[in-house]
Amino acid sequence: AQTVTQSQPEMSVQEAETVTLSCTYDTSENNYYLFWYKQPPSRQMILVIRQEAYKQQNATENRFSVNFQKAAKSFSLKISDSQLGDTAMYFCAHNSGGSNYKLTFGKGTLLTVNP
């Protein structure tokens, strides 16, 4: 069974600093996708970044980047120049596609950006 583990229930960072959120996963698939979603207090789930497992290059989206270590099954999210609006719950998720049409989520990390 696929599992996703986020070992940091809560984190905090000062505005303008950099923070890294950790995620590990377990899968027997070779081709799959990994995602980071952000859920602010409004509860709207927003896609932050995605990574295809077959791509060695780490994905980046503006201030957000990932460190994807396929052999270690690790997928961490780095947020640079943190902003107050980054305060949210962050979920790591895995989707193997194929015949398994679902996202498996971690428990989430609550990130607070302090002024």
Partner 1 sequence: KAGVTQTPRYLIKTRGQQVTLSCSPISGHRSVSWYQQTPGQGLQFLFEYFSETQRNKGNFPGRFSGRQFSNSRSEMNVSTLELGDSALYLCASSSSRAWGQETQYFGPGTRLLVL
Report the interface residues with partner 1, using CB under 8 A: 31, 33, 35, 37, 42-47, 50, 52, 91, 95, 97, 99-108
Would you say 25 or 35 has its CB closer to partner 1?
Answer: 35
Would you say 74 or 100 has its CB closer to partner 1?
Answer: 100
Contacts of 50 (CB under 8 A, 6+ apart): 33, 34, 35, 36, 59
Would you say 65 or 100 has its CB closer to partner 1?
Answer: 100
Q: How far is the CB of 50 from partner 1 (least distance, A)?
A: 6
Q: How far is the CB of 37 from partner 1 (least distance, A)?
A: 8
